[in-house]
Amino acid sequence: MDELLNKANNLYDNGEYSNAIEEYLKIIDIEPENEPAYYNIGNAYFNLGQFDSALDAYQKAITLNPSRAKPHNNLGIIYRQRGLWEKAILEFKTAINIDPDYFIAFNNLGNTYYSIGSYKDAITSYEQAIKINPAYKNSYYNMGILYSGQKEWEKAIECYQKAIDIDKNYILAHGNLGNALFYLGKTEKAIEHYHIALKLDPDYYTARINLARAYKKTGLINKAATEYQKIFKISSN
């Protein structure tokens, strides 16, 4: 059994998800109630984009062991992707009830509340994730997106900056920080962050468009034109 498990896990770790599933199924043939095998099959199907099969595997894992948090969280992600908000919220809350320090589930719960416009609940969830793990950049970033959508630019800037303080190479945070600064009229600072984002990812289309717009606003027409030419090349490929 250990040999089968090690083989399956190695295949999974190497991204060979279909082969990993075959090995986990061999484990289940020997131990039909092996909950970790079902959970890992769910993860493999998820990574393959086969979400119906992933959902079935997670549900089986939960049936065998309802007190494990991760299958509930991952099931919630699938429900959220499908717009099944109430089911998603229930699964994330179940995961949190099982493991109150599961900051990823709090973040996912926040994302779900954001999707349905329950912004206060979303902020509460993101803040709880950060309280548990102050180095969790995604919740800072997600709060920044929420505040940007509400045009609360100062709060958005603070959140994006905290995400960048954690990960200086956080491309999306730099791009969106640039946007928030731009809308506050801090165009030169916005340009700085667009440049950082594009240095990290030269094909970051949105950042390049926004950089061109920022150059145009500051009267740097030639630089704006250069960026628009680059945008044309990217869109033509």
Encode pLDDT of 10-58 as tens digits. Answer: 999 999 999 999 999 999 999 999 999 999 999 999 999 999 999 999 9
Q: Which CATH class is domain 157-237?
A: mainly alpha
Does the pLDDT at position 128 exceed 80? yes
Q: What is d(CA 211, CA 80) in angstroms, rounded to the nearest whole number?
A: 33
The dihedral built from the CA positions of residue 204, 210, 213 and 215, taken in this order, carries a sign that is negative
**pLDDT bracket for residue 7 (50, 70, 90):** confident
pLDDT average, residue stretch 207-223 = 94
pLDDT at 235 over 70: no
State how far the Cα of 139 lies from the Cα of 202, in Å rounded to an integer. 25
Stretch 220-235: mean pLDDT: 84
- Tens digits of residue pLDDT in 143-180: 999 999 999 999 999 999 999 999 999 999 999 999 99
Looking at every residue in the chain, the average pLDDT score rounds to: 95
Claim: this prediction has a pTM higher than 0.85 = yes
